[in-house]
């Protein structure tokens, strides 16, 4: 009987221990496998997955957002996988940016959260995290100085600790509020769950003529934590097709994919594709 009780207690302790473990995962996002992400553009803007620029923080590629000649145009990369998540459950929120060509406003790709305040699924407020405001010099809540936006280098931004401005404030910019203080004022705030399935978490460039004219920038290593469980998204272009059968050998098949973006299961699968196109 004692041994049986010990076994039961041991199982309960193991269950509690496993339940308390935080998990971290990296998800590779390609045009052939977007995993809850979707691009959208307006006007002269364009967007897609590219190699580089420089040495991205993860892998060899990134998501590129180009605004074009009309700075009122915009490019967005939206994620729907976390729709409905309470903002109070967020334990990490960060991403990296690279500015290839600045407009005139010292901007970098920014974040927008579509916020549902009454649990009906529709958005009631929008929160904006703009790297240009993360220097600690703007009014509102005290936020850490994460440095100025630079051209031609990768920079990481901690949006969980940083400052946001709310559409509901009517200022279209600072004063800034931290997510912690926004949640304290709106305890039920959550990412919206729109009926059309659009993602309520957005990486954005553009929508402001002058500051965004001809802007070209990139984003990568977007990380979101919910209750301590982190998911990091690595944005990459599709893999190239294998140029020959020899390219499939010695694990080379892992570096190639079919024309539709689907990957190979093994060396034989890759060689068969070279021989037959299937």
Q: What is the pLDDT of residue 20?
A: 54
The share of the chain scoring above pLDDT 70, in percent, equals 92
pLDDT of residue 120: 96
Q: What are the sequence ranges of the domains in the chain?
A: 22-235, 246-276
Q: Which of 89, 31, 40 is nearest to 198 (CA)?
A: 40
Report the 10 Å Cβ neighbour count for 64: 27
**pLDDT tier for residue 254 given thresholds of 50, 70 and 90:** confident
pTM above 0.95, yes or no: no
pLDDT for the residue 53: 98
| Angle (CA) 233 236 241, round 5° | 140
Tell me the CATH number of domain 22-235, given options 3.30.70, 2.60.40, 2.60.120, 3.90.550.
Answer: 2.60.120
Q: SS in 3 state form for 162-228?
A: CCEEEHHHCCCCCCEECHHHHHHHCCCCEECCCCCCCCCEEEEEECCCCCCCCCEEEEEEEEEEECC
């Amino acid at each position: 009987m004692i041994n049986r009780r010990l076994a039961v207690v041991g199982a309960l302790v193991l269950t509690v221990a496993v339940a308390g473990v935080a998990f971290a995962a990296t998800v590779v996002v390609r045009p052939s496998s977007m995993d809850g992400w979707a691009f959208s553009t307006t006007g002269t803007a364009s967007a897609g997955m590219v190699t580089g620029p420089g040495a991205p923080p993860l892998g060899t590629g990134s998501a590129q957002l180009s605004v074009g000649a009309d700075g009122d145009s915009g490019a967005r990369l939206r994620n729907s996988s976390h729709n409905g998540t309470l903002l109070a459950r967020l334990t990490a929120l960060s991403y990296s940016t690279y500015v290839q060509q600045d407009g005139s406003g010292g901007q970098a790709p920014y974040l927008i959260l579509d916020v549902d305040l009454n649990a009906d699924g529709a958005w009631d407020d929008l929160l904006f995290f703009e790297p240009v405001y993360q220097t600690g010099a703007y009014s509102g809540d005290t936020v850490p100085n994460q440095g100025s936006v630079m051209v031609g280098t990768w920079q990481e931004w901690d949006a969980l600790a940083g400052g946001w401005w709310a559409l509901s404030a009517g200022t279209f910019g600072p004063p800034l509020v931290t997510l912690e203080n926004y949640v304290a004022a709106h305890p039920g705030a959550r990412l919206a769950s729109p009926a059309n399935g659009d993602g309520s978490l957005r990486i954005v460039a553009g929508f402001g003529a002058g500051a965004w004219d001809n802007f070209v920038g990139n984003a990568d290593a977007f990380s979101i934590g919910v209750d301590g469980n982190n998911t990091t998204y690595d944005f990459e272009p599709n893999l190239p097709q294998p140029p020959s059968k020899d390219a499939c050998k010695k694990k080379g098949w892992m570096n190639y994919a079919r024309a539709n973006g689907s990957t190979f299961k093994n060396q034989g699968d890759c060689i068969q594709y070279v021989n037959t196109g299937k």
